[in-house]
């Protein structure tokens, strides 16, 4: 096997578009994300015609459905789920002085957040720029778009309506947007967060300078390994960003 390109999915997506634009697709197998694949339905062959049905049936049906574009099975799922996990530094929640100061300011006990509002409160409270920040977010390209989508849904709104038209210009959309704006104005996020993508978030939390990180569950081993992460062995709880970790 000759690997001609090894990048994250965001960079690969750009490369696929470039290859298609100049009719220079010279590779046989590629990795992709189900949210990207519908952009280029003619790029991939139909795997359902090449693989035995009993092999395809071994996968979770919902994942196979997500990997099917215009009736073609364009990829086999690698991951079984892709929700956000909330990672946090345990030490921030074990400090008695912080517990008292937080309750005096916000009126409720300091504990790992269950809502986006609580997450924002705590991120602002924990922040001590420029050396330590409450949280971070990926602020450009697909990353900010996807997170905003989740926030709009968490607020009870819609990103697109039933006809596929934009529907986020709503009260829910404004509330979702203000979550990002309020954190940025409060200097509760690193100033460069507007240029971050997903890998930057992982490296940020691993640096030990971020209190709360809403991120991919696959980072867990990296964060818990003292050789790769100054955050050390920390706790996290899994939350679907548009579901269990709700706005209110």
Whose tokens are 């009719």? That residue is 23
| Window from 74-83, 113-122, 192-201 with minimum mean pLDDT | 74-83
| Domains parsed from the chain with CATH numbers | 9-73 (no CATH), 85-238 (3.40.190.10)
Residue-wise pLDDT tens digits, 117-136: 999 999 999 999 999 999 99
Residue-wise pLDDT tens digits, 6-49: 887 788 888 888 888 888 888 888 888 877 888 887 888 999 99
Task: Count CA atoms within 13 Å of residue 69 on its CB side.
Answer: 20
Statement: residue 157 has pLDDT above 70: yes
High-pLDDT (> 70) share of the chain, %: 92
Q: What is the pTM (predicted TM-score) of this model?
A: 0.75
Residue-wise pLDDT tens digits, 82-120: 678 899 998 899 999 999 999 999 999 999 999 899 999
* pLDDT at res. 173: 95
Alpha helices in 33-131 (DSSP H): 53-56, 61-66, 96-106, 116-126
| Nearest alpha carbon to residue 12 among 50, 25, 45, 81 | 25
**Position 237 confidence tier, pLDDT thresholds 50, 70, 90:** very low
């Amino acid at each position: 096997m000759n690997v001609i390109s090894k990048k994250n999915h965001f960079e690969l997506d750009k490369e696929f578009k470039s290859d298609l634009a100049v009719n220079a697709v010279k590779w046989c197998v590629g990795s992709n994300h189900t949210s990207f694949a519908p952009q280029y339905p003619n790029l991939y062959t139909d795997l359902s015609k090449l693989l035995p049905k009993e092999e395809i049936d071994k996968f979770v049906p919902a994942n196979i459905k997500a990997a099917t574009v215009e009736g073609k099975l364009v990829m086999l799922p690698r991951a079984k789920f892709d929700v956000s996990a909330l990672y946090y530094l345990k030490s921030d929640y074990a400090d008695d002085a912080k517990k008292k100061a937080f309750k005096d300011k916000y009126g409720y006990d300091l504990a790992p957040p269950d809502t986006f509002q609580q997450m924002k409160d705590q991120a602002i409270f924990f922040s001590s720029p420029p050396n330590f920040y409450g949280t971070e977010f990926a602020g450009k390209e697909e990353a900010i778009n996807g997170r905003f989508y989740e926030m709009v849904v968490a607020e009870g709104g819609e990103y697109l309506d039933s006809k596929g038209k934009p529907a986020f210009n709503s009260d829910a959309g404004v509330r979702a947007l203000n979550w990002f704006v309020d954190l940025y104005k409060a200097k509760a996020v690193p100033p460069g967060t507007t240029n971050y993508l997903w890998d930057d978030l992982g490296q940020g939390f691993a640096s030990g300078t971020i209190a709360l990180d809403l991120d991919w569950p696959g980072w867990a081993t990296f964060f818990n390994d003292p050789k790769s992460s100054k955050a050390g062995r920390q706790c996290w709880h899994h939350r679907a960003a548009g579901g269990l970790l709700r706005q209110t």
